[in-house]
Homo-oligomer: A and B are copies of this chain.
């Protein structure tokens, strides 16, 4: 297996999906050992650092990549398997950015909510990050995930790394974790995928707009499947299938994920649309991902334990899992 290591310098960050020359050209099957800077580009380090003073909003969600995958053509399917996510620092940050987040609203006449910054200290041995507030201190389990995994968009567009859509991107779902295979439709030659926005943990919905944001050491395996591009990002774990929809209002994000899962159940079991709709109604889990970004993201997720065994996308997940075992 080819192995590519890449720790971008600040001038090498990508800030968009699409519109950027590839940092590397890789072959399908390549192992990537990457470092990703945090969503704030490392500018938020102390509880006294206020977003309006230290953040540069044109430099958030720095991406590592993009990677040109040889042979990837529009209509193909990229399979990105997350082998490992390890925090690259012993602390992480979260904050309230004016008029950003689910419990504020930009199109009102209110003054912004107060800015406040939280710094989380990591305890690697215990596997926890520490939430500290005036009233309460809590050690919360470390559950690393990637906020952004995306390819270049279709239709000649270039989108900010803050955007989730059909091309993946800033989906901000806790389901993007070690052991996950993410299937993305390819829109441009080479796919041009990138990753970033590591979270040491995050609740579903990412309420205040920023998770426990931290730099991350990321190990991926990237594979290519000819054809079969799904309309919306699909995730496969050992024990679940999931589809991510991104849109506004939130019901449309979720409906997109449902329609995506109806299609997947059709692929896997030959269910017609109505039977898939019925089955979904009785077995779907529907965890939210983010309700703060430019599109909201919602998942439709099904436990494999409820379904007959099947080989999604030709058994790609099992294949990548076995490759991954040799890497850790």
Chain A residues within 8 Å of B, Cβ to Cβ? 15-16, 18-19, 58, 94, 96, 101-111, 113-114, 116, 118, 131, 133-136, 138, 140-141, 155-160, 201-212, 245, 247-252, 254-256, 258-259, 262, 269-275, 277-288, 291, 296, 298, 300, 306-308
Contact = CB atoms under 8 A, between A and B. Distances in A.
Nearest to A17: B157
A319 to B, nearest CB: 25
The 8 closest A-B pairs by CB, nearest first: A107-B255, A203-B284, A249-B249, A204-B286, A158-B158, A133-B275, A286-B288, A250-B250
Given A259-B109, A282-B131, A277 B103 contact: yes
Contacts of A118: 278
A258 B107 contact: yes
Task: Name the residue among A18, A249, A252, A278 with the largest chain B CB count within 10 angstroms.
Answer: A278
A319 B240 CA distance: 36
Nearest to A132: B275
B96 A103 contact: no
Task: Name the residue among A114, A269, A270, A279 with the largest chain B CB count within 10 angstroms.
Answer: A279
Task: Name the residue among A18, A155, A271, A296 with the largest chain B CB count within 10 angstroms.
Answer: A155
A306 B130 CA distance: 12
